[in-house]
Amino acid sequence: MRIMVLGSCSGTEPQVGCHHTSWLLECPEGLFWFDAGENCAYRAHLEGIDLLRTRGIFLSHPHLDHVAGLPHLLWTIQKMCNVKSVHTPFDIELHTPVPEQIEGVTQMLEAASEGRCDFTLNVHRVADGVIAGRPLRVTAQHNRHMDREETVARWHSFSYRIECENKVIVFSGDVASVTELDQWTRDCDLFFMETGHHDPVKVCEHLAARQSRIGRLVFVHHGRAMLHDAEALMKQCAPLLPCPVEAAYDGMTIFL
């Protein structure tokens, strides 16, 4: 399986060469996207990714640095159907904590329609538990990134555990604390952890104290400290854990 980071930045003002959060997993059954920050379709297409293989999209929460690229992604898939004269209908399963947000996206697509749309977008509300079974087994767990003082009727922010080809990937999304992922980070092959709201050194110290068995730790959704000097931070992090510790960058490719 191949994983590609399409956007590695948090919701800052625009940064040179560093776009908002998005990564995809490619396996024989198709493409599966996790978050859809700005420019994700552009980057994927220029990297030679066949967008018509898209079968699933998983959004962690509705903040725009995680979803603003979704209209362009779907529009580009529609456009490529016509450019390549590929008109075999297929389904795209979209998992989001806030399906109501997607209504606006579909209205944008309908208003901008430039030809046949040969995929059906099936929208599912994310809740705790297993939300997809094949070819990826994806488990969702709510987190407190979007907590408010009043009672939360529905959780709007989730982390994901992905199982594919006997490998386990944990994607934090945005979290209030890395401790929310303690159960999942006991044992995984790849851990994508955000730094937009967290000190990566403290994250590593926490994982080390728990003796977490992580094959590879990749920091994503970079906050200002990482954007300022990722190399210096990684030098501090490297001795703290026995696994490789890296800062993601746009276009980064990982094979598992």
CATH number at residue 209: 3.60.15.10
Does 248 fall in a domain? yes
Does 208 fall in a domain? yes
Give me the pLDDT at residue 148, please.
Answer: 62
Does 18 fall in a domain? yes
Does 152 fall in a domain? no
**19: which DSSP letter?**
P
Give me the pLDDT at residue 152, please.
Answer: 52
d(CA 217, CA 245): 5
Does 111 fall in a domain? yes
Identify the three-state secondary structure at position 157: coil
Which range marks the domain in which residue 65 is found? 2-146+157-255
Give me the pLDDT at residue 57, please.
Answer: 98
Does 107 fall in a domain? yes
Does 151 fall in a domain? no
Give me the pLDDT at residue 115, please.
Answer: 59
Strand partners, 15: 18
This prediction has a pTM of 0.96
d(CA 216, CA 193): 11
Secondary element (H or E) of residue 203: helix 200-209
Domain count, the chain: 1
Does 100 fall in a domain? yes
d(CA 133, CA 112): 33
pLDDT in tens, the chain (256 residues): 999 999 999 999 999 999 999 999 999 999 999 999 999 999 999 999 999 999 999 999 999 999 999 999 999 999 998 888 888 899 999 999 999 999 999 888 888 776 567 899 999 999 999 999 989 999 999 999 997 644 455 679 999 999 999 999 999 999 999 999 999 999 999 999 999 999 999 999 999 999 999 999 999 999 999 999 999 999 999 999 999 999 999 999 999 9
